[in-house]
Structure 1
Amino acid sequence: MANATAVNFIHLTGLSHMSQRLRLLLFAVTSLCYAAILLVNGVLIVTIILDKKLHEPMCFFLCNLCVNGLYGTVAFFPKFLHDLLSKSHIISYFGCLMQVFVIYSYAASEIAVLAVMAYDRYVAICRPLQYHSIMTKCRVLLLVTFSRLTPLLCQAVVVIMTSKLELCGSHINKVYCENWSLIQLSCSPATANDIVGFGNILFYFGHDLFIMCSYVQLVKLALRSKEGRKKFMQTCVPHLLCLFNVTVALLFDLMYARYGTSSMPQSLKNFMAIQILAIPPLLNPIIYGLRLSKVRNNVLKYCRRKKV
């Protein structure tokens, strides 16, 4: 405890190894990536809101997924783009905690929304005659609220517990603030924080198990008929691709945060850190836009109107 200091700023050292020329190149690529994320998610959100034919549960959940993608990226990309052009890479301690809260709640919401979408697909394919009586407006609202509010509450507990720690350092070897890195700066063991953190991981791992179990039932039913296989390919394959995309990204991030070694190249560390904030928000709306004919056709129709 003797070495504890009042930390007002956190130094992010993930870009310290990078040359100015490489930073400018990365700035251009990142700017294009962020613009693409804003565009594809924005187009899908606007299309679903404006077209009443898309006002159905699956499209509302897809809209929720896109909104979550924008929510998560706003906590990372503006700051990261600023750091690429800046010589000092610091963030206030409060800003660091807020970044942790937004990024972690974004990742948790991503899994929660995909779990809700899996439930929707299960009801649509396994109980089609009861679909509209089960997926009422009230239940859709409850599911959307669950997928947004529960992650916020869980991550609020994590951040509040982290904020109580006394820190003996202020340098994090990443390009954004990460909870595990803050815990490692603690002057004393943070056993309670570790337990709560692992509890959150297990809770959302349970969401993945639920999705897998629901899809076992969906595959069994889809194989019985040609119509079932067609519906599965049209609406479930995009969901599975998004789930695979998010799960792999989260596993990379968790493995890096917990078990990353100093011998790993810094550029690889940076990639593993940011891919959860870049790949899912970019690919998810593209996957759904391409695979779901109803959404794709309405997006194309909306774009043609704008050209005219």
Structure 2
Amino acid sequence: MNSSRPNAKYFEFTLFVDYGNLRYLFFALCFLIYATIISANMVIIVTVLLEKSLHEPMYVFICLLSVNSLYGSAGFFPRLLFDLLSDTHLISRASCFVQIYVIYTYAFCEFGTLAVMAYDRLVAICQPLHYRARMSVRKAVRLWAAAVSFPALCVCCVVSFTIRLPLCGNKLERVSCANRAVVDNSCVDTSHVNIAGHFTVFTCIFIPFFFVLYTYMRILVVCRQGSAEVRGKALQTCVPHLMTFVIYSCSVFLELVISKYNNDPVATAVLSLEYLIVPSISNTLIYGMKLPQIRTAVVRRFRIKIKIKKMVSNPSLLS
């Protein structure tokens, strides 16, 4: 670490280099990915909100997953697009900590939402006669709010500890702000921040992870003992959720492993972007293609919009 303390008001991303005209290609690619994430998730959100037949807990959770994807990508992509076209790659101290908070709460809230969705499926399949009494849209939103409030509070505590650290450097070997990268620039002992970070990771990632595994063990037992109709219902509603859970879990655990054990900062930065990009796109593809209710509603909304445009452009169709 540097012995002299640099300007602590700014951090510098050191992995951005001058690729010449290639940076415009990278900008176009990232912009396309961001536009895809926004448009795909907005389709899911608007469809669930407008279709009364989708005002059920399961579809509300899918809508909340899309909202979380928009939230997380908004904390990352605008800054990345700006840096790709900028000659200087500085970010203010305040903006850096805001980005850390947004990205981390996105990651942990995703696990919380998936855990609540697993509970919803557990009740629907294992106790179908009591499902209406135990689950409603209002209860679903309350469960989701409880599941994401604790991670948001934990991240707030960790970030508040990091903000107070005196810094002997301002270099971040990343393309976005990360709490560990900021802590590495500290001049003092950071054990209390590390303990808070490990506690947050354990409670906000591993506990929801093992809870989801537990619910699917219960669901598997019921399916093996149940009829073909029960197995068919479980297959239709659980496979999309299970695919989303596996993809996101692999992305997050990959980020945890490479950030801790990989000594190549470029590979670490590139691979760590997966949990911000892949789940946000795959969620909409999985639920749009696997759940016929959402697929049918999207197609119907699209056809209505096309029909209205044709009527506006050709008034004779109204007669």
* TM-score, normalized by the shorter chain, greater than 0.5: yes
Q: Superposition pairs for residues 102-141 of structure 1, below 5 Å? A: 102-141=102-141
Preserved CA contact (<8 Å) 1:174 1:273: no
Q: Which structure 1 residue ranges, 4+ long, deviate > 3 Å from structure 2? A: 1-6
- Which stretch shifts more, 271-280 or 89-98? 271-280
Report the AA paired with residue 141 of structure 2. L
CA distance in 2, matches of 1:62, 1:8: 39
Name the residue aligned to 1:212. 213
Name the residue aligned to 1:273. 272
CA distance in 2, matches of 1:303, 1:162: 47
Q: Superposition pairs for residues 132-151 of structure 1, below 5 Å? A: 132-151=132-151
CA distance in 2, matches of 1:222, 1:303: 36
Deviation at 1:2, TM superposition (A): 6.6
The reply on whether 1:170 has 2:170 as its aligned counterpart is yes
Secondary structure of 1:169 counterpart: coil
Name the residue aligned to 2:299. 300
Compute the RMSD of aligned alpha carbons: 1.5
The reply on whether 1:65 has 2:103 as its aligned counterpart is no
Name the residue aligned to 2:88. 88
Name the residue aligned to 1:255. 257
Preserved CA contact (<8 Å) 1:4 1:187: no
CA distance in 1, matches of 2:130, 2:277: 38
Secondary structure of 2:88 counterpart: coil
CA distance in 2, matches of 1:15, 1:60: 39
- Which stretch shifts more, 182-191 or 119-128? 182-191
Preserved CA contact (<8 Å) 1:5 1:166: no
Name the residue aligned to 1:77. 77
CA distance in 2, matches of 1:76, 1:138: 31
Preserved CA contact (<8 Å) 1:111 1:208: yes
Deviation at 1:148, TM superposition (A): 3.0
Secondary structure of 1:223 counterpart: helix
Preserved CA contact (<8 Å) 2:259 2:268: no
CA distance in 2, matches of 1:32, 1:147: 32
Q: How many residues align?
A: 304
- Which stretch shifts more, 135-144 or 41-50? 135-144
Deviation at 1:22, TM superposition (A): 2.7
Report the AA paired with residue 281 of structure 1. S
CA distance in 1, matches of 2:254, 2:94: 26
**Residue ranges of structure 2 left out of the alignment (5+ in a row):** 308-319
Preserved CA contact (<8 Å) 1:238 1:287: yes
Secondary structure of 2:80 counterpart: helix
Preserved CA contact (<8 Å) 1:111 1:207: yes
CA distance in 2, matches of 1:244, 1:56: 24
CA distance in 2, matches of 1:52, 1:39: 21
Report the AA paired with residue 206 of structure 1. I
Name the residue aligned to 1:288. 287
CA distance in 2, matches of 1:141, 1:38: 22
CA distance in 1, matches of 2:74, 2:19: 25
CA distance in 2, matches of 1:74, 1:21: 25
Preserved CA contact (<8 Å) 2:15 2:175: yes
Report the AA paired with residue 175 of structure 2. V
CA distance in 1, matches of 2:47, 2:147: 22
Amino-acid identity (%): 36
Task: Kindly name which structure, 1 or 2, has the bigger radius of gyration based on alpha carbons.
Answer: 2
Cα 1:31–1:2 change in 2 (3 A) is closer
Secondary structure of 2:272 counterpart: helix
Deviation at 1:146, TM superposition (A): 1.5
